[in-house]
A and B are shown apart, each in its own frame.
Chain A
Amino acid sequence: MKCEVAQNRLLALSDPNRAPDELRAHVSACAGCRAFAAGVQKLDVLLASLPVPPSPAKAAFLQRVAAAGPVIHVKPKRDSAVDLLPAFARKGRWQYASAGLAAAVLVAAGWFALSGTKPQTKPEPMARKHDLLNKQVQTVASLAKADTPPKRLDVWSGAADDLRAETKAIYKIAQDDEMKVLTRMLQKVIYEGLLKQAELLPDADPAERQRLLTRTIAQLKATETETAELSKVAPPNSQKQLIRMTEIARDGRTKLQTILDKGA
């Protein structure tokens, strides 16, 4: 994947923490795109926490709506579409309308010609699959393939990001018990995944070791910042666990920094 394509796709994501696997693979292998992705994630957090300035126009509009009361005085006419006929009947308008209709017929005919040649059985409707569960399974499968600490560190970094994205997706409506599941998982990923593999990183290639640790520290910093920001605006039900997540991410980051300094 080209960097330009990867970066455009990163920008197009509704949630930069939920990049598809192939995009994440490119980003984890490319320093430029990694930096770009970090910028996009930071921007996302900053935008979410941006205060909305007071708007006199909005206040005036709301006042007018409130003053109008709950009664709708003017109902739209059900046959108002008929009023379009005189407009189309004016010179030239029918040409555009008929051209549009012809195009729609052409596309529909083409589609039927391509897809309707053989009888198709109606597919069973598919229920939505749980993305985080899928990612957990992929994490186990990837760890089974990862035979070195750097590769395992990489997999655990992805797992931490997945949890961060899930947290962001549900924190507004989740109860404390549901947030606790994510907190426990983040704790496990950081203490039993990331930190354990970071300790095992070989000293043979100090530059690579430093690169991996620096990147992981930056990721935990992003988790720390994001959960801290979310905890400020979160409902009381999820606030406590968001604060706990911030503490876990901060502690993990501090411990990683110690490992990095020890090897320097």
Chain B
Amino acid sequence: MKRSLLTLSFFAGLAAWASAQSPSVGPSPAEELKMLKANGTLMEDLLGHGVRVADANTPLDRAEKCRDASASLKRAIEDAGDDPDRIVELAEHLAAIIRDGLAPNLATARDQIHPGSQDYGRMSKLHTEVRQDFALYQQAIPSDGKSGRSSRVKDARQKLSEAGARVPAMKE
């Protein structure tokens, strides 16, 4: 009886452990290479933006450079055609740049630059451009076809909207 109970607990533990294991493993070298081929130009482009972001000395400068990086990702989304997976991946990256790069730097710039100061006009112009960009970003994500029907593309669009909502309003 005792042995049966032990066996029972062993199998139960084993089954629980096995079901908890993640089936996912890393990509194979061939998959990795395929992704490098698909994204090589975009990655080199982003790296260039990274260099310019790092060279920027003020939050306003950094926000401008982040906007440039966002534009690269928007172009990549437009080039993705009707491929929902690709659109979702790129839209999430675009949302990350806006949420973690553009919005916080624009918020800091807004706190530092006051009306009438030298940079205020520049910041105001950037603000207007960023607002206009959002409309274009949303348009870049297809609303019809295979991608338009995808719930994940809809989620990605929502994430992009949420990231856009983090961009602070201008102080009057």
List residues of A whose CB falls within 8 A of some B CB: 14-15, 18, 95-96, 99-100, 102-104, 106-107, 111, 124, 126-134, 136-146, 152, 155-156, 159, 166, 169-170, 172-174, 178, 181-182, 184-185, 188-189, 192-193, 196-197
Contacts and interface: CB of A to CB of B under 8 A. Distances in A.
B90 to A, nearest CB: 9
B31 interface: yes
A180 to B, nearest CB: 9
Nearest to A124: B152
Contacts of B31: 128
Given A103-B11, A169-B29, A193-B54, A140 B101 contact: yes
A166 B27 CA distance: 11
Nearest to A197: B54
B36 A170 contact: yes
B130 to A, nearest CB: 14
A96 B101 contact: no
14 contacts: A96-B4, A103-B11, A103-B12, A103-B14, A103-B15, A128-B31, A137-B73, A138-B96, A139-B47, A140-B53, A140-B66, A140-B97, A166-B36, A181-B43
Contacts of B26: 14-15, 18
Determine the main DSSP class of B at the interface with A.
Answer: helix
Contacts of B32: 166, 169-170
B171 interface: no
Contacts of B38: 130
Given A130-B38, A136-B50, A185-B43, A141 B101 contact: yes
Contact of B33 (A133, A145, A174): A174
B11 A104 contact: yes
A129 to B, nearest CB: 5
Interface string B48-68: 111101110000001001100
B79 interface: no
Determine the main DSSP class of A at the interface with B.
Answer: helix
A130 B37 contact: no
Most buried by A among B40, B46, B50, B93: B50
B105 A144 contact: yes
B112 interface: no
B12 A136 contact: no
Interface of B: 3-4, 7-12, 14-16, 19, 26-27, 29-33, 35-40, 42-44, 46-51, 53-55, 62, 65-66, 69, 73, 84-86, 89, 93, 96-97, 100-102, 104-105, 150-152
A156 B47 CA distance: 10
B100 A145 contact: yes
A131 B31 CA distance: 11
Contacts of A170: 29, 32-33, 36
A126 B66 CA distance: 28
A130 B101 contact: no
Contacts of B86: 127
B85 A140 contact: no
A196 B152 CA distance: 40
Per CB-CB distance, the 9 closest pairs between chain A and chain B, nearest first, are A144-B101, A103-B11, A127-B85, A141-B100, A130-B35, A103-B12, A107-B15, A181-B40, A99-B7
B152 A126 contact: yes
A226 B22 CA distance: 30
Contacts of A139: 46-47, 50
Contacts of A169: 29, 32
Given A107-B19, A152-B54, A170-B32, 5 more contacts: A103-B15, A128-B31, A143-B53, A182-B36, A188-B44
